C-alpha cells in the first residue's frame, strides 16, 4: 500500500509504514530490488544484534537497582521476540509499545506510558537523537549513546 494511502487512514503500525515506504526509498537511492529481496529487507527488521557488552551492562544496571523497560515504536510482540532472540528478555520488566496509544515517538504521550508505571526517576537511554529529544521534551532524563 503506498504511503499516502496509509497516511489517510491515520495511525498505522511501524512495520506497515516501513513496508509501504521501502519501495520509494529504494527508488530514490536508485536501488532495484525484486519482491524476494524486498521481503528479505522487511524480514531483517525483526533482527537485533546487541552491542558486545549490552548483556553485562543490563546486569550491572539491575544489580544497582534500576528497572529496565523497552519503549518501542514497534509492536510489543516483535520487540519481545527481538529481545528473546538476543537473550536479553529476562533483563526487562516490561515492554511498552506506541501501538497502545496509536502515537509514535517522539510524541510526548508515548513517553508518558513509562511515567505512568514508574514513580522514580525515568531515564531514556537511546542511540537516536530524535528519541532523546522527544524524551527530554516529555520530562525524562536522558542518556544519548553514540557507540
Q: Where are the domains of the chain?
A: 3-44, 54-144
Please say if the pLDDT value at position 91 is more than 60: yes
| pLDDT number for residue 3 | 55
Q: Where are the beta strands (DSSP E) in the chain?
A: 68-72, 92-97, 123-126, 141-144
Superfamily of domain 54-144: HAD superfamily/HAD-like (3.40.50.1000)
Q: With H, G, I as helix, E, B as strand and everything else as coil, classify residue 22.
A: helix
- What are the pLDDT digits (tens) for 43-82? 887 787 888 899 999 999 999 999 999 999 999 999 999 9
Neighbours of 15 (CB within 10 A): 15
- Band the pLDDT of 17: cuts 50, 70, 90: confident
- What are the pLDDT digits (tens) for 97-121? 999 999 999 999 999 999 887 777 8
Neighbours of 65 (CB within 10 A): 7
Amino acid at each position: 500500500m503506498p504511503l499516502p494511502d496509509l497516511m489517510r487512514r491515520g495511525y498505522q503500525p511501524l512495520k506497515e509504514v516501513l513496508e509501504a515506504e521501502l519501495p520509494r526509498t529504494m527508488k530514490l537511492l536508485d536501488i532495484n530490488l525484486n519482491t524476494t529481496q524486498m521481503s528479505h529487507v522487511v524480514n531483517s527488521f525483526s533482527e537485533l544484534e546487541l552491542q558486545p557488552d549490552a548483556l553485562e551492562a543490563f546486569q550491572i544496571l539491575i544489580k544497582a537497582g534500576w528497572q529496565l523497560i523497552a519503549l518501542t515504536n514497534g509492536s510489543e510482540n516483535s520487540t519481545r521476540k527481538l529481545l528473546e532472540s538476543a537473550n536479553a528478555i529476562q533483563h526487562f520488566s516490561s515492554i511498552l509499545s506506541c501501538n497502545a496509544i496509536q502515537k509514535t515517538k517522539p510524541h510526548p504521550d508515548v513517553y508518558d506510558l513509562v511515567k505512568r508505571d514508574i514513580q522514580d526517576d525515568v531515564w531514556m537511554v537511546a542511540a537516536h537523537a530524535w528519541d532523546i529529544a522527544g524524551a527530554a521534551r516529555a520530562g525524562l532524563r536522558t542518556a544519548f549513546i553514540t557507540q
